[in-house]
Each structure stands twice: as structure tokens, then as C-alpha cells.
Amino acid sequence: MNEQLARDVVLVRAIESSDTQYAVLSEDDRMYASRSARELAQWQAADSKSDVTFEHFLQQRSEQILKRLAERTPVIKPVLKGTGAGSWIAIGLPLLALVLGATLDRIADPHRVDLLSAPLLGIVGWNLIVYVCILVWALIPHRNTGWAGAGMLRRFSVGRAQLPRKVPAALTAGLARFIGEWTELSTKLSRARLARTVHLAAAAFALGAIVSLYARGLTSQYGAGWESTFLGAQQVHQVLSIVFAPALFIFPLQGFTLADVEALRYTGAAVAGGGARWVHLYAATLLLLVVLPRCLLAFAYQLRAASLRRNFPLDLEQPYFRKLSGQVGTAVPGVLRVLPYSYTLDEARDRGLAAIAIALLGEQARVMLRPSLAYGEDPVDLGADASGVTVTAVLFSLAATPEKENHGAVLDQLRRAAPRGIAVLVDESSMTERSSQSAVDGRLAERTALWRQFCHFHGCSATMVNLLEPAKYPFDADAGLTVSEAP
């Protein structure tokens, strides 16, 4: 699935999931879009003499729905077709850097090549520091995978994200939901594009300085010289020998001696002539240490971005997509694996779990109920029966008081053990079964808040359920359970 198709599919999912009352897209609209998409997918499969693909079904269905939304609410067309700020930043930032680089050396004497040019040495030094930081960042394990913040990534992927006014509340909620989901899903792609752009801008900045040096040399006679309060000729010679070593090693350029450096010491006027040698040295050094490495890094990130653009990582095993796959005949029955903790389920609660699985994963879904973990017991290996599992959920009783040493330890271990993450179900039925509603309301709200806070502390989101009354908490079936990924 490519990036554009993934974006359209995520946008449609966000709108459908937010429009629970069918105010924006009626049930007939959705059924018509699915029926039309199924027929188009079947026709294409027949033409190509291949099987019906779920991706083509999603493409046709999203096109049908977005076209209908654009016809009904023209004001949202820019949002539906938006591509974010990445396209113009990718072009504008390197061009701006090229112009700034071309004007950088104007700070110094335009008729003199300063051997200790602060702007030119600054470009080289800064880029060397960046290379070291990149290397250290790659070697040190960390959770954050980049330097760009959430706001920058959102602007890069979805633009300024201004929601249109005077549209149905459900549509506004769906668009806002899409902005958050797409920003998160496209993080890797946005980081790759942003890194590519930054590296190209750095290369363009150095290239601008090189162009400016040679362009001014065509109309001006460069003199050469240097001055320093604290450095003598020997120290300057050592510094320049280190800086220009790569250029002298690669290119057949004229070198320099300590006597040459001493003769160029600034005493009131630059030495006439002799500037061409130093222009060539600085240009070659910038080319080798800045332009070429930055271009190679930009090329590497471009390859990564192109790969992600062609094969966008969208998980089609989520409940929303599993339900749609049933409409095109490619559905695989979903499995909800449940691990109760210090909680034994009776027959009625078993039926409640089955109803929840159907609401989440479709009519063919089934429950894989693992034996209850005793209080203080460590989880068993989850890999033994992982085949075919769609969602893994740990089940707690709301009546229990969450403890870091027991419940928290189980959550942490399960998050590490489950490759696709876990969901957390907290059942309130044990608290409400034997008490009147008026007597339990206060305790229920207090305990619910406690469990939500506890799960959030351990990197999870608690989903409240009532296994004796599954319909009490209707699931957002399109979004499914909140699954916490492994730390």
C-alpha cells in the first residue's frame, strides 16, 4: 500500500469512526461504497486474471466516500487533498540555504581571503560536530527516534491543520482524529523526509559559500592574510594543516609551509595576490567535508523515504479493516486472546467476552481464554499460542486495588512479551453485581479513575467493560481496543 492510498484509508476510517450517529455518512452511504468497491475490485481481478485484493477494495471504497464528502461539503476539499508542508519545505529550505551561503562571506573583507575565516571554518566545524552527534545518536539506545518534535512532524505531514468551520461536529471530530492518527502513522516517513531536506540544505549552504568565493574572484583581486591576538604563525600553520589535509590528499592542490603562513600575517593590508591558492583549498575542503557527506546522507534518507512511500506501514489486522475484509471475501476470523489476572470467569462472563470479541473483530471472531494467573504469579510464555491471535488483552477486576508490585509487574512483563502489544480490560461487573446502583456509583467512579491512572503510569490505556452487560459500554468498533506497544 502506497502513501496516498494509506492516507485516504486512514482519513475515511477516522471520519467513519467519529461519525457514530451516521450524521455525515449514513449506513446506506457506507453500504453503497462497499458494494461499489467490491464490484470494481472484482472487475479488476477478472481483467487481470488474478484474485481480488483487499488493498484495491480499500482504494475504491475510500475514493467513493471521499468523493461523496467533497460533493456534500466542498469546504473540506483542501483537507481531503492536503499534502502537508513537506513539499514546499523540501524545495524552499535548500534554496534559502544556498542564498544564505552565498552571502555568508560578505561579512568579511570582500577583497581578502582570510586564512582564519570564521564563517568558512565555522561551516566545517559545525558539520563535523553534526557527524559526531549522528554517530553517537545511532549507537546510544533511546526511545525517541529523532530530533524533530511532534509539532514539526505534524506540520510536515498534514500542514497547518486548520479545520474548516461550519461543518457537522462529527466531521470536525473525524478530521481532528485523522490529523492525530496520520501524524503518528507517518512519523517515520516524515522524519526521513525532514532529515533529507536538512542535509540537502546543509549541502546547499556550503555550496553557496563555494560559488560566492569563485564568483567574487572573477571580478575582484583577492589578497590573502590572517591575524590573531592569541595564535602565532606556528599554531595557525598547524590548524590549517589539519583543516586542509583531506583536500591536499585528494586533489593536486598547491600546499603551504610555515614560512608561507608567516609571510601572510596581516600587518595593515592583505598581501596582494596569492588568494587563488586559498580559495581552492577552502572550496575543496567544503566540498569534501560538507557537500559530499551531506549529499550522501540526503540520498540515504531519500531511499528510506521512497521505500516507506511505496510500502506504507499500515496495519490491516486492526478490527476496522478486519470487518471490511469480510465484505470482500478476504476475512480471516479474528482471535481475542484474554489473560485474566487473579480473576475466575463464570459462564455468564464468558459469554460477555464472546460478545465483546464479536463487537471488535466481527461475527466470526472467537475468544482464546487463557488460565487465570494467580495473584503474584508471573505470566507464562505468550509465544506458544500466538499464531492467529489478533489482539492480546489482560483482564483485571475493578474490585481489585491495583498494585505496582503485582498488577504493574504483570503489565510491564506482558508488554515486553507480546510482540504486537497488549490491551487492558477492566471488568466492573464484580462491583455492580450485588450492590444497588446508587450505592456503587461513587465507588465505581473513584475506582475507575484509579485504574485509568495506574494503567497510564505503566504505558497502557484501560478499557472499561461489564462482562454481565456487554452493551453497557459500546465499543468504538471501528477503532477497537487501545493497544499499548512494547516498551
Does residue 386 or residue 450 have the better pLDDT? 450
- What is the separation, in whole angstroms, between the first and last Cα of the chain? 27
Which tens digit of pLDDT belongs to each residue from 138-154?
887 655 555 666 666 76
- The answer as to whether 248 is a domain residue is yes
401's CB contacts (< 8 A; 6+ apart) are 450
pLDDT recorded at residue 295: 97
Tell the burial category of 197 from Cβ atoms under 10 Å away from its Cβ (0-12, 13-18, 19+).
Answer: buried
DSSP 3-state assignment of 477? coil
Average pLDDT over residues 46-57: 80
Phi and psi angles of residue 256, each rounded to the nearest 5 degrees, phi first:
-150, 155
Tally the domains of the chain: 2
How far is residue 44's CA from residue 56's CA, in Å, rounded to a whole number?
9
One domain, residues 3 and 54:
yes
pLDDT recorded at residue 151: 66
Cα-based angle 411, 417, 419 (whole degrees, multiple of 5): 115
Among 308, 332, 356, the domain boundary falls at 332
pLDDT recorded at residue 125: 95
pLDDT recorded at residue 302: 95
pLDDT band, very low/low/confident/very high, at 309 (cuts 50, 70, 90):
very high
One domain, residues 244 and 367:
no
Closest CA to 154 of 192, 177, 186: 186
CATH code of the domain containing 353: 3.40.50
One domain, residues 204 and 307:
yes
One domain, residues 292 and 417:
no
Does residue 286 or residue 230 have the better pLDDT? 286
How far is residue 236's CA from residue 116's CA, in Å, rounded to a whole number?
8
One domain, residues 45 and 80:
yes
One domain, residues 205 and 339:
no
pLDDT recorded at residue 479: 46
One domain, residues 257 and 393:
no
Average pLDDT of the chain to the nearest whole number: 82
One domain, residues 206 and 173:
yes
pLDDT recorded at residue 242: 95
Among 332, 363, 392, the domain boundary falls at 332
Cα-based angle 231, 236, 241 (whole degrees, multiple of 5): 155
- Does pLDDT of 478 surpass 50? no
Average pLDDT over residues 337-360: 87
How far is residue 33's CA from residue 68's CA, in Å, rounded to a whole number?
10
- The answer as to whether 478 is a domain residue is no
- The answer as to whether 211 is a domain residue is yes
Average pLDDT over residues 301-320: 89
How far is residue 362's CA from residue 9's CA, in Å, rounded to a whole number?
19
| Count of CA atoms in the C-beta half-sphere (13 A) of 420 | 18
How far is residue 6's CA from residue 62's CA, in Å, rounded to a whole number?
10
- The answer as to whether 486 is a domain residue is no
- Does pLDDT of 98 surpass 50? yes
One domain, residues 48 and 14:
yes
Structural domain for 382, as ranges = 334-472
Among 332, 362, 381, the domain boundary falls at 332
- The answer as to whether 412 is a domain residue is yes
One domain, residues 254 and 397:
no
One domain, residues 195 and 108:
yes
- Does pLDDT of 298 surpass 80? yes
Determine contact, residues 325/361, Cβ cutoff 8 Å. Answer: no
Q: What is the dihedral of CA 129, 132, 134, 139, to 10 degrees?
A: -160
One domain, residues 268 and 241:
yes
Alpha helices by DSSP H, listed for 49-149, are 54-72, 77-81, 86-104, 118-139
Does residue 243 or residue 389 have the better pLDDT? 243
Beta bridge partners of 465: 427
Which tens digit of pLDDT belongs to each residue from 434-474?
655 555 667 888 888 999 999 888 888 888 888 988 888 76
- The answer as to whether 482 is a domain residue is no
What is the value of pTM for the model shown? 0.73
How far is residue 8's CA from residue 435's CA, in Å, rounded to a whole number?
48
Does residue 368 or residue 49 have the better pLDDT? 368
Beta bridge partners of 396: 426
> CB 232: neighbour CB atoms within 10 A?
11
Average pLDDT over residues 66-88: 78
DSSP string of 170-237, one letter each residue: HHHHHHHHHHHHHHHHTHHHHHHHHHHHHHHHHHHHHHHHHHHHHHHHHHS--EEEB--SS--HHHHH
pLDDT recorded at residue 229: 85
Element (H, E) at 276: helix 275-286
- The answer as to whether 477 is a domain residue is no
- The answer as to whether 86 is a domain residue is yes
